[in-house]
Amino acid sequence: GFPGNPGLKGERGESPLAVRSAFSMGLTSRLAVTNVPIRFNKLFHNEQRHYDDTSGKFRCVTPGVYFFTYHLTVYYRDARVSLYRNNKPVMFTHDQFQENNLDQASGSIILQLQAGDEVWLQVYGEEEHGGIYADNTNDSTFSGFLLYPDPPAASRRR
């Protein structure tokens, strides 16, 4: 007999287009409470709602490699924050304030996250380090995005 027809064409390769995670939020006013995650309520971008502005935490849905960055207006007093991952402070930013010399402090980090991991910013230390300021024309921001989703299990096996 004759050979059969060729098989079906393979599936289209995976695309990173499908998996997205990005948020960009700002403070609406001067930081008042320092012993909890900083709640950024001003919305620049949060399409997937992976940043929860009631808890102040980003929660990882898609496992992979993420980039986070923040920019803080330092005013009235010193500022000292830590970027937390699941209750553990992993990076620290400190800036001292002097009268009439409002400053800017910023940080960036790349982290491999698992689904469910939480990342947030919080003042590190006492209230005296809570000099993080914002108003209608002064921003303090926190942004992050998925850089590389983890390859699916099938890809890993190859």
Residue 96 near Ca ion by CB under 5 A:
yes
Residue 98 near its own copies by CB under 8 A:
yes
Nearest approach, Cβ of residue 116 and its own copies (Å)? 18
∠ CA 23-28-29 to the nearest 5 degrees? Answer: 140
CA dihedral 77, 31, 91, 36 (to 10 degrees): 130
* x/- track of binding to its own copies for residues 46-65 (CB under 8 A): -x-----------------x
Tokens of 55: 């808890």
- Interacting partner of 76 out of Ca ion, its own copies, none (Cβ under 5 to 8 A depending on kind): none
What lies within 8 Å, CB to CB, of 34 at 6+ separation is 122, 123, 126, 127, 129, 130
Nearest approach, Cβ of residue 94 and Ca ion (Å)? 9
Residues that bind its own copies (CB under 8 A): 1-18, 20, 22-24, 26, 44-45, 47, 65, 67, 69, 71, 73, 80, 82, 89-98, 100-112, 124, 137-139, 141, 143, 145, 147-149, 151, 154-155
